[in-house]
Amino acid sequence: MESPCQNLCHLDEITGWCDGCGRTGAEIASWIKFSPVERRAIMATLPQRMASAVRVRFASKAS
């Protein structure tokens, strides 16, 4: 089964996304229930999420 898991499982307190893969807790918990199409759709959003998470964390540290 395709998975973006990087074995770095920690949900960021600010974004709610996993620091390793970018998924939400709900997405991680339901991953095996999703169809391959649903998993690929989520995976397609992860690069953007991860880039966004970096900006959010940087902005929160700057303030």
> What are the sequence ranges of the domains in the chain?
1-63
Question: What digits encode the pLDDT tens for the residues 29-44?
Answer: 999 999 999 999 999 9
Question: How far apart are alpha carbons 34 and 32 in whole angstroms?
Answer: 6
Percentage of residues in the chain having pLDDT higher than 90: 76
CB 28 within 8 A of CB 18: yes
Question: What is the pTM for the complete model shown?
Answer: 0.84
SS3 54: helix
At CA 27, angle to CA 25 and CA 38, rounded to 5?
Answer: 170
Q: What number of other Cβ atoms are within 10 A of residue 28's Cβ? A: 18
